[in-house]
């Protein structure tokens, strides 16, 4: 089931692996806590998957797929003739994903244990999705550059994640929100200050940037474009 083994992990990855091993079994239930804070992650996932603009038969990578919460949404888009590749650092999260795949009897899902930074993206992909994972990866720029390089023209890389809000009020509330919302998932305010959408803008055309949750989260969509295409559509440049 798992390929792309990473023999030695750096210390920040080792900390995340240890945290997610402890959380894997109750991860899906713990996301319900987000609703109590008004964070409608399921609706955000639907919008992110829609933004991939996938077709039946397409192949898509879910980077940092965790327990595979996005898989049913991706299945609706690619259908049984398509393919979903779930990539994650943590074995225990992939074990939960494997249970989900078996329970749904999906035969078109491949699970790969790999650090996103070292992941060798297959060529011919029709889309790459990462939800609530890329901000945890210090080398997110390298990951986006690698992913963008294998996508064909017109194909998309969509990131849904937390970010540090810019408004005065939310900025004041940011330390508390980071602790409550992202802390249990290994996120910090420093991580939320990362700006993966700028990497999408560097290596692709940023065709959409949607601010969510009063600026505390976002969906960013990069589209592989020809050399002359200009980026646009963001208020977070
Ligand atoms: C908050 S969970 C998100 C899981 C899933 N994408 C979702 O939306 O529910 C973060 C996931 O990212 C994974 N992760 C963290 N750092 C990673 C890395 N460098 N490479 C691959 N996966 C990573 C963790 O193991 C964990 O499963």
**pLDDT tens digits along 26-36:** 999 999 888 88
- In this prediction the pTM is 0.92
- Ligand 1, atom 4, lies closest to the CA of 66
228 pLDDT above the threshold of 60? no
Helix axes 91-104, 71-78, angle to 10 degrees: 50
Q: By alpha-carbon position, which residue is closest to atom 17 of ligand 1? A: 89
Q: How far is the CA of 16 from the centre of ligand 1 (A)?
A: 9
Give the residue extent of every domain in the chain. 2-233
**Fold exhibited by the domain 2-233:** Rossmann fold (3.40.50)
Between 163 and 37, where is the model more confident? Answer: 163
Closest-lying ligand 1 atom to the alpha carbon of residue 17: 25
Beta carbons within 10 angstroms of residue 208's beta carbon:
19
Cα 4 to Cα 16: distance, rounded to the nearest angstrom: 18
Residue 186 or residue 52, greater confidence: 52
């Amino acid at each position: 089931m798992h390929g792309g083994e990473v023999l030695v992990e750096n210390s920040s990855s080792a900390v995340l692996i240890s945290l997610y091993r402890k959380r894997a079994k109750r991860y899906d239930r713990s996301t319900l806590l987000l609703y109590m804070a008004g964070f409608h992650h399921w609706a955000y996932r639907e919008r992110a998957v829609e933004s991939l603009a996938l077709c039946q038969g397409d192949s898509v990578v879910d980077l940092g797929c965790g327990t595979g919460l996005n898989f049913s949404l991706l299945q609706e888009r690619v259908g049984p003739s398509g393919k979903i590749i779930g990539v994650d650092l943590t074995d225990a999260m992939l074990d939960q994903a494997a249970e989900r795949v078996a329970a749904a009897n999906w035969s078109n899902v491949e699970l790969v244990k790999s650090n996103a930074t070292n992941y060798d993206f297959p060529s011919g992909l029709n889309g790459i999705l990462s939800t609530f994972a890329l901000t945890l990866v210090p080398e997110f720029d390298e990951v986006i550059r690698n992913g963008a390089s294998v996508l064909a023209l017109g194909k998309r890389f969509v990131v849904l994640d937390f970010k540090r809000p810019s408004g005065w009020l939310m900025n004041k509330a940011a330390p508390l929100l980071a602790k409550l919302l992202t802390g249990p998932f290994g996120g910090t305010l420093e991580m939320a200050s990362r700006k993966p959408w700028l990497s999408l803008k560097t290596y692709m055309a940023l065709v959409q940037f949607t601010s969510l949750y009063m600026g505390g989260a976002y969906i960013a969509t990069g589209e592989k474009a020809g050399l002359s295409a200009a980026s646009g559509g963001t208020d977070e440049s």
